[in-house]
Amino acid sequence: MSRTLLVSTTQRGAYPTISDALAAAPDDGAIAIAPGEYVESLELAGGRVSLFAGEGEGSVTISPSAPHRPVLDIRRAGVALFGLTLKAGDAPAVTVTDGKLRMGSCVLSTRFGIAVDVGARSEFDISGCKVDGAQLGFQFVDCRGTVAECEILNVVEDGVVVRYADPVIRNCTINGCGQRGIYVYEYSRPTIEGCDISRTGADGIAVGQQSAPVIRRSRIHDTRGVAISFAAGCNGSVEATATENTAAPAIDVAPGAGPTVELAGANVPATAGAGASDGVHAPDARRVEELLAQLDGMVGLAVVKEQVRTVIDEIQVNEWRRSAGLSVGAVSHHLIFAGAPGTGKTTVARIYGQLLAELGALPKGNFLEVARRDLVGMFLGETTKKTHEAFERAMGGVLFIDEAYTLSRTFGAGGDFGQEAIDAIVKLMEDHRHEIAVIAAGYTAEMREFLDANPGLASRFTKTIEFENYNSEELVRIVGHIAKGDDYLLAPGAGEAVRAHFDGVVRDQNFGNGREARKLVEGMRRAQAQRLRQLGRVPSAEELQTLIPEDVAVASGRA
């Protein structure tokens, strides 16, 4: 059992700063922090550690050493926080990238930033925490986890933002948001249950860009916008949820959206909002064209689009032949997506699954993304069980295995449980070949190693689609799309500055493509915020929207 390290500015033998204790802490170590206020910007890269207030909740306050830095920046590390008060400046209080965060009974605030920003490939468990004052409460992007029994109060923009993620948001209170209580977009499928959302400047819950949340046993009231809005192409469900004193209609379903809505024990069809449906899905040619238009609307990826269309054309023709009573050859729906990260593999996989469902090749078209940790257990037999469970959850749609090549590698001592997962995948792909599409994704060279791990893999994955790095012009377009989606505009000259930045970036294996674009936009937003706060007056709406070349220079470190 690891010993507990003490941080105190007065006690002899204790570490004077939290940073000193973190540097000395062993893996799985614990750090008790004595009462007081600590001004430190903490960074953790690797390892696992717990930090807690030594004398209970509210006795320890931590603020950053510079306003543009987070209080705690977690990268590829596992961190547990208990009973701490974190006060940030113009940056998030806590950021997590490719890490694990467990947080309980903490209080967070920022002047201009996100209270908790959980990013790519991360996991989180947040309970009993309070956000009181922030630009944005919680942001979950391409991650998984649960937030429960939390309060999010007095935020300038959205209470919770969910993007490319499927978190569980349970028994939370969201009150006093300048914009939306919860914003769900870009193919997200969160579960929102037992929540109370009120006093929002816009919709209580807004659902956009092909998302499908499950909303149940919640209460949404006293909002300037509607209680829940579903944009075209969105699905999901609303169950046993009360609405009161909101804009009309309380549940606003746009044409082309298809959630099921059940209030007060009754199924609510079109009266819930324009275009609402009863949840019965009927495939049609127009929907197929809409999905193909989404694919075509993605930046770049010309070869990828052509190859996906070739697969879809073959499936479409087979369905026509089957309807005409003609013989149909065997077609595999399983694919290898090879290429660098951030090139749109996950987005294309989601669209592909929906296309298969519309064409009748798959029952549902749902989407489940997993990685090695979701399939590989620690003990003999556990891996097969976890792999079967993943297939069951994805049945009827797409199982997307990210960084699949890690299954063919042995980590540490003991049995090769990754190989056990591969063997189970091969059998399950055969047993359920008409009920599921498996897409294995990863770097090109490593995916060749993956296919060599079991003779049956190559016969099941008969087609590989190669995703190339984006060029600078395409990245400029992506930056523009991201900025526009966040209600920002690029000023004249900003696009050229973005292009110059990406022209100077090396496209090696660590280059994140679209993720680099998102990272640059976030840096530009922070730079703009610092610039506007120095004006000495309230900025105009146009100034709040506009990102200028100087913001690009600051974000790219060239200022």
pLDDT by position in tens, the chain (length 559): 467 889 888 888 888 898 888 888 888 888 899 899 999 988 888 888 898 988 888 888 999 988 788 899 998 888 999 999 999 888 899 999 988 999 989 999 998 889 999 988 889 999 999 999 888 999 998 888 999 999 999 888 899 999 888 899 999 999 998 889 999 988 888 999 999 999 998 899 999 888 899 998 899 999 988 999 998 889 889 988 888 888 888 898 888 888 888 764 333 333 344 334 333 344 457 778 888 888 888 888 888 888 888 888 887 787 777 777 777 666 678 999 998 888 888 889 988 888 888 887 787 777 888 888 889 887 777 888 889 988 988 888 889 998 899 888 655 444 468 888 898 999 898 888 778 899 999 988 888 888 888 888 888 888 899 888 888 998 999 998 888 887 889 999 999 999 999 988 887 777 878 888 888 998 999 999 889 988 888 889 899 999 999 999 998 876 5
Domain 472-555: which CATH number of 1.10.8.60, 3.30.2130.10, 3.40.50.2300, 1.50.10.20: 1.10.8.60
For the chain, the structural domain boundaries read 165-280, 285-467, 472-555
Q: Specify the DSSP class assigned to residue 191.
A: E
Beta-strand runs (E) in 191-301: 191-193, 196-200, 205-207, 214-216, 219-221, 228-230, 237-239, 242-244, 251-253, 260-263, 266-267
Decide: pTM greater than 0.85.
Answer: no
Q: Is 408 helix (H, G, I), strand (E, B) or coil?
A: helix
Q: Is 6 helix (H, G, I), strand (E, B) or coil?
A: strand
* Strand partners for 100: 78, 123
* Strand partners for 96: 74, 118
Classify the C-alpha dihedral 360-251-117-166 as positive or negative.
Answer: negative
For residue 551, count other CB atoms closer than 10 A to its CB. 27
Model pLDDT, residue 89: 85
Please name the residues in contact with 494: beta carbons below 8 A apart, sequence gap of 6 or more.
547, 548, 549, 551, 552
**Residue type at position 56:** G
Model pLDDT, residue 1: 45
Cis check: omega of the bond before 249, within 30 degrees of 0:
yes
Domain 285-467: which CATH number of 3.40.50.261, 3.90.226.10, 1.20.120.1200, 3.40.50.300: 3.40.50.300
Q: Specify the DSSP class assigned to residue 539.
A: P
